[in-house]
Structure 1
């Protein structure tokens, strides 16, 4: 009798551990990835990766995209480019549904109103 009680208690403990572990595993597998970029607004493209933008332009051999990532606003994206002479520059890209992402310009900052942006962007002066 005592042996049955011990076995029953042990089995109940194992069941609780599996139930809690399964619940935690389910919750972890269904949470959003905090390192993933935020989803694009409806009708807006996803922010491209540095690799995607790097496929669109051929940088001089001693230039490279900075590891700071891509900054996006609506249909515009900018990525900082490092140059050995210093004075980093940004490359600006624009998205249209018929052509996708395309190189637009290089500089340090642009006027948001001229780009048609309705909200401030980190690569704009206004």
Structure 2
């Protein structure tokens, strides 16, 4: 799942209305040693989301949050996010692709690569 998350984040990064947040989340996701810091970055992304009414930014932050929750839960933390967080990564990725006009097939190619 972690490799898929990194691939999704990289797929959407060129379209991010907040490139700083996108870059920070990609960097964390790509380095498992940083995953324990995902909760702290989640809190920052949440503040950004609550501070905007821009739908594209809200979409970016919603996707980043679900990715950060999933990665944080992989650390076996004593204060995990909801255990079903990982379940929502792919549906959120599909929604984000639609919102950005990224072909949905690119998301499907990440989760179910063809031969």
Fold agreement, TM-score > 0.5: no
The TM-score, its normalising length taken from structure 1, stands at: 0.25
The TM-score, its normalising length taken from structure 2, stands at: 0.26
Greater strand share, structure number: 1
Larger radius of gyration: 1
Greater helix share, structure number: 2
